[in-house]
Chain A
Amino acid sequence: MSVVQAILIALVAAVSRSEGDWLGECKLREPIVTGFLVGLILGDVKTGLMIGAALQLMWMGAVGIGPTAQLDIGIGGTIGTAIAITTNTGAETAILFGVPVAVIMQFLNTLLMSAYSGVMLRVDKKIDQLDFKGINRCHYFCGICTFLAYFLPTFFVMYFGNGVTEKIVSNMPAWMNSGLGGVAALLPCLGFALLLNIIMEKRLIPYFILGFIPAAYVGFDLTMVAIGAMAVAVAAIIFMLRSDRPVAVAAAGTDDEWED
């Protein structure tokens, strides 16, 4: 791998992380996007996209909610895809490297978010001095640190780790592969569990089942659109029915009718 390629891949890794911080979570982090970019850099767009699709399926449930640790799929997908393409292997290699990277980088994230708490004290001081540029600088400083924390390790792994990764791939025992397959199978559950944690209350359980059962038993491609449309319709009907009776709803609200 050339220096330029390593730099560009490190750039993809860093941007796919900073996207959430600075570009309004515009989803450059998704494996299909990073796979495409890495493929473009390494001259094999098609493989990049196909590996990206495999990782995307695995990380369908990878959501980022609240100030908690999640899987860092941006850098995981970037490094995984890059190693899979350079070693001429497939999605299994991408999973082998992508999953551990996504988990480990999350711990680094926790570290960064703790460290930035200290910067906030500096902002308090800058406010008292009415140093507007200083306040902005504090904001940018955190961003630059995050960027470098992703850019530098990726560059080193890409540029100097070539021989090592190739050795790992060629000597990988079969049990390692099936073990990571198991991890990849279970991980998506977490994202959906986190989503459920946000919206779930007892009175929503019937709707949850109403969404799950048809998809589980029928499971053709249109199900999601159909169920989505059905959900919007049900919600709209209930909204209209209830909002026609403002007094009752107001009373219900104080009776905790909507909260469990």
Chain B
Amino acid sequence: MADVKAESRFTKKDFRGVFWRSFTLLGSMNFERMEALGFLYAIMPLLRKIYKDKPEKLKEAMHRHMAAFNMTVAPSPFVMGISTAMEESVNDDPDFDPASINAIKVSLMGPLSGIGDTFFWGIFRILACALAIGFAQEGNVLAPFILLLVFNVPNFVTRWITLKLGYEKGSALLTDMMATGKMQLFTHCAGIIGAMSIGCMIAMWVSISCPLQFTISGSEIIIQDYLDQIMPKLLPIAFTMGIFACVKKKWKVTYIIAGIVIVGFILGILGVVAM
């Protein structure tokens, strides 16, 4: 049904509009509704087309999308696509329950953010930075361009593909994935990639060492050597796990940052930790 509508109601230009507007999702990020206004801003032209001569329905729809919404930005066009398809159903089919739209949006926030954060913050960003660092250290002007290119190609492609996928196949795909448990399986498999990459990244990119050394009866004792004998990268993994435990206990991130700054500063002055 959605495919037929795609030709009748919206043009390619409309979708390009949503695509570009989706880049401003965080533009009015706030604690109350989070990305809601950005979301509404992105799909408002489509809503206006759907509810052309029905101002009351349009108001209802716009209020619907001002409900709190928050997710990783890159795959968010998927939700925009599926919401648009569902709004069309609301308009075309009087039996369609509009409340299901926000139910779907809420249920997608968690899984899609988890997958999106894993890939964009965990993998693409780190990969882009890691590739660029070598060039930057040599003062090569290619570095920033490599970084931006490696990150943004997946960023742009994901937005465009998920928007189309969400609009054209969203509901069907969702019903199928929920019914067969594929959604959980997909999230789990993305989790496997994420867990392995993060494990690897902690070892590669967190550098904490202990510069302490003593001289006892003529022989030098370097603490870091002992730590390395227990396990290489012991300090990075220990500190990360410690902070992870604090995050798990739902401490406020602001307090954790303050704690890290204070503890890091004191340990740094005492010469216990360094980069």
Q: B residues engaging A (CB < 8 A)?
A: 22-34, 36-38, 40-41, 44, 48, 55, 58-59, 62-63, 66, 70, 72-74, 113-114, 117-118, 120-123, 125-130, 132-133, 135-137, 139-141, 143-144, 147-148, 151-152, 155, 159, 179-182, 184-209, 231-233, 236-237, 239-244, 246-248, 252-254, 256-257, 260-261, 263-269, 271-275
Interface extent on A, as a size class?
35 or more
Q: Is the CB of A24 within 8 A of B155?
A: yes
- Interface digits, A101-124 against B, CB 8 Å rule (1 contact, 0 not)? 001001100100111110110011
Q: Is the CB of B185 within 8 A of A50?
A: no
**A224 vs B125: C-alpha distance when bound (angstroms):** 13
Residues of B near A45 (CB, < 8 A) are 139, 141
Within 117-155 of A, Cβ neighbours of B (below 8 Å) are at 117, 119-120, 123-124, 127-128, 130, 132, 135-136, 138-143
Given A212-B237, A224-B204; A120-B36 close (CB under 8 Å): yes
Q: List 19 A-B contacts (CB under 8 A).
A: A21-B29, A32-B147, A53-B133, A63-B117, A65-B72, A67-B29, A113-B30, A135-B41, A138-B37, A142-B28, A179-B266, A188-B205, A188-B207, A192-B202, A199-B191, A209-B199, A227-B200, A228-B127, A230-B196
Residue of A140, A141, A186, A195 near B118 (CB, 8 A) is: A195
**A11 vs B251: C-alpha distance when bound (angstroms):** 34
Residue of A36, A178, A224 near B141 (CB, 8 A) is: A36
SS of B interface (majority): helix
When C-beta atoms are compared, the residue in chain A nearest to B208 turns out to be A185
Q: Is the CB of B122 within 8 A of A195?
A: yes
- Interface digits, A220-246 against B, CB 8 Å rule (1 contact, 0 not)? 000110011011101110110011001
Q: Is the CB of A208 within 8 A of B198?
A: yes
When C-beta atoms are compared, the residue in chain B nearest to A124 turns out to be B66
| New contact pairs (4) apart from A214-B200, A227-B200, A231-B197, CB-CB < 8 Å | A68-B252, A185-B274, A190-B243, A249-B181
**A194 vs B41: C-alpha distance when bound (angstroms):** 29
Q: Taking the nearest CB of chain B, how far is it from the CB of A245, in angstroms?
A: 10
When C-beta atoms are compared, the residue in chain B nearest to A53 turns out to be B136
Q: Is the CB of B193 within 8 A of A119?
A: no
Residue of B137, B152, B257 near A50 (CB, 8 A) is: B137
Within 177-206 of A, Cβ neighbours of B (below 8 Å) are at 178-190, 192-201, 203-205
Contact of A156 with B by CB under 8 A: no
Q: Is the CB of B25 within 8 A of A139?
A: no
Given A27-B148, A114-B31, A197-B247; A180-B268 close (CB under 8 Å): yes
Residues of A near B233 (CB, < 8 A) are 212, 215-216, 219
When C-beta atoms are compared, the residue in chain B nearest to A116 turns out to be B30
Residue of A142, A192, A219 near B198 (CB, 8 A) is: A192
